[in-house]
A = this chain, B = another copy of it.
């Protein structure tokens, strides 16, 4: 595999850049704070669907384009660079990904064409603990009649308030922390007993907490194998970590570019502040981290596409690195801007906030360092 973009990918990148330039300004984000609906611009969602982006990683038989994460990453990077808010990771990677990997043909037929054309939004409800810990599931699914009864509480479900269906991780056996005993169910929010709490996150994206109070689902709601949901879950979360990393990479690059420009124009003490060696050396180190981040995103996306043996390891390296670099970028971006950087008026703070939320989603650096060591057997 090659770690540079091929011709088709460069075209896709150009098209994504144009999409952002023509349809969005970072300032739109401030308006979303007052939105009480879906929390993303629905007109843009339709345009993204028209461009085929939501169909990228799905097989053609379900309305997909049969492309891969390398391509999806190109799009997500540009959207992240512009801080565009769209539920692509939620619907295409999390919910849609779980069905693609584990769904029955009927489930796929029902949902994937709608995911691909944007007429439905899916997502995944996994987290229950304070921080991401995918096997720490206490929500239960108890057999009842020819189906199951779900009970429990899910938190930080990305775009959970806007989803037409949610893939829920519940425990059919074992105890919290066990990898085995997990089962995935696809649940529509209209099902009696499902209660969705909408929360605006600090970066103006939206997530939901979801209460499951004796929610009855049929046996046909099971996605993948009973008790072995972790097989699908591990893969979906690795794909989500890599996809989100592409979004983070865009944000990091834009933060760097904005700041570098500021260093070249802002004057203090009669000189451009970018001429002070203290800031210069920090900018150079930040540049190196950004370049390393870019490389690992490109490599991980391609390893997932190639189904490489070490893809899960790479996904952890990738998310850990991007989380660290996002934190560094948020910190340096604001610090190098000085006072203006901490005002709401300036965009740099918006980038830091998006980076922060992404840092915590699907496992922060500490989580992925530990997971990497476990995957490596130490």
Contact = CB atoms under 8 A, between A and B. Distances in A.
A275 to B, nearest CB: 10
Interface stretch (A95-103, A204-212, A277-285, A353-361): A277-285
Contacts of A277: 276-278
Interface in A140-167: none
Contacts of A280: 278
Contacts of A278: 277-278, 280-281
The A interface, classified by DSSP as helix, strand, loop or mixed, is helix
A123 B281 CA distance: 47
A276 B280 CA distance: 11
A58 to B, nearest CB: 47
A280 B277 CA distance: 9
A276 B278 CA distance: 8
A281 B285 CA distance: 15
A368 to B, nearest CB: 21
Interface in A337-356: none
Interface string A30-58: 00000000000000000000000000000
A144 to B, nearest CB: 42
A277 B283 CA distance: 14
A181 to B, nearest CB: 30
A39 to B, nearest CB: 39
Interface string A246-282: 0000000000000000000000000000001110110
A16 to B, nearest CB: 38
Contacts of A281: 278
A280 to B, nearest CB: 7
Interface in A81-121: none
A277 B269 CA distance: 14
A198 B281 CA distance: 46
A280 B280 CA distance: 13
Nearest to A281: B278
A346 B277 CA distance: 28
A228 to B, nearest CB: 36
Contacts of A276: 277
A277 B268 CA distance: 15
A278 B275 CA distance: 11
Interface in A277-309: 277-278, 280-281
Nearest to A284: B278
A276 B281 CA distance: 11
A278 B277 CA distance: 5
Nearest to A276: B277
A127 to B, nearest CB: 24
A277 B281 CA distance: 9
Nearest to A279: B277
Interface of A: 276-278, 280-281
5 contacts: A276-B277, A277-B277, A277-B278, A278-B278, A278-B281
Closest 6 CB pairs of A and B: A277-B277, A277-B278, A278-B281, A276-B277, A278-B278, A278-B280
